[in-house]
Amino acid sequence: MTRSRLSGKVGAALDPCAAIQVPFELFDGKSVSSSSASASDETPMTPVTWPSLPGIRCGAGGARSGVAVLESHPRAVNVETPDPALNVLTNGWLLYQTLACRFWARSGYYQPGGAFGFRDQLQDVMALIHAEPQLIREHLIRCAARQFQEGDVQHWWHPPSGRGVRTHCSDDYLWLPLATCRYVLSTGDTGVLNEPIHFIEGRPVNPEEDSYYDLPARSEESASLYEHCVRAILRASDGVSTAFRSWAPVTGTTA
């Protein structure tokens, strides 16, 4: 508030998200309203017009409506604890951060590329079960559509093409039945289990490979979401059985 200008410093070990300074004089009994906005486009030199941003318009009124939109996402969860800071985080910021950063932008922690992580976004979206259940339903179907016929899944993929990686990761596909159970038990929507969803197909990951990057084909075979979940569990069970069989002769244990 007392600086005549901002420092303009950028670089490593500095952590500014953004800083905008608007100088003005405030007299007794007067008020000043200021609003600003930033936006980006695929073509940096192309101006972004306000009407192209849904629900937002120039001026203080537009800024207030924008804040109202942010504050409305989501409000289904409300806690009261002796810690005011925890209340603020839980009742406002954390769920919105999950929705905006982890699900819409898909950019957080070590995941800045905008890809859907099969495991990551299924974990994240379960936090929204009381706030955005329809979003969870849509995402269950989206993830099931990235499952190979063998029961394993793409570890991550980029929309809209669906190009991504197939790996040996064995926990990815188990998040599908877990998130599905969480959704059905919380909402009572058993109809989602009957949704028909196509598989994808591609070559298996070779034993000497960690993963491979490719654009899988859409399989002609489809199955219900329930059957996708069953196939994931069977795939995992087969992996456990294989691991046990390879371990048993070494220890002298028989199954």
For residue 187, CA distances in Å to 136, 141, 233 come to 11, 16, 22
My answer on whether omega of the bond before 82 falls inside 30° of 0, hence cis, is no
**Domain assignment present for 41:** no
Predicted local confidence at residue 235, as pLDDT? 94
Please list, in sequence order, all residues whose beta carbon lies within 8 angstroms of the beta carbon of residue 88, skipping any fewer than 6 positions away: none
| Start-to-end C-alpha separation, the chain | 72
Segment 64-72 shows an average pLDDT of 64
Of 92-101, 114-123, 230-239, 241-250, minimum mean pLDDT range:
241-250
Domain around 219? 114-251
Per the prediction, the chain carries an average pLDDT of 82
Dist CA 128 CA 102 (whole Å): 11
pLDDT in tens, 25-63: 888 888 888 777 665 555 544 444 444 444 445 566 666
Segment 186-208 shows an average pLDDT of 97
Please list, in sequence order, all residues whose beta carbon lies within 8 angstroms of the beta carbon of residue 247, skipping any fewer than 6 positions away: 253
**Domain assignment present for 91:** no
Tokens, residue 6: 């901002």
Report the phi/psi class of residue 162: left, alpha or beta, with left for phi > 0 and alpha for psi in -120 to 50. left
Q: What percent of the chain has pLDDT over 70?
A: 75
Predicted local confidence at residue 76, as pLDDT? 73
**Domain assignment present for 125:** yes
Segment holding 96, helix H or strand E: helix 94-97
**Domain assignment present for 16:** no
Going by pLDDT thresholds of 50, 70 and 90, the confidence category of residue 91 is confident
The pLDDT of residue 119 is above 70 = yes
Q: What percent of the chain has pLDDT over 90?
A: 47
The pLDDT of residue 180 is above 70 = yes
**Domain assignment present for 234:** yes
| Domains identified in the chain, total number | 1
**Domain assignment present for 20:** no
**CA-closest candidate to residue 153, choices 181, 122, 126:** 122
**Domain assignment present for 185:** yes
Of 71-75, 87-91, 140-144, 175-179, minimum mean pLDDT range:
71-75
**Domain assignment present for 203:** yes
Tokens, residue 82: 């002796």
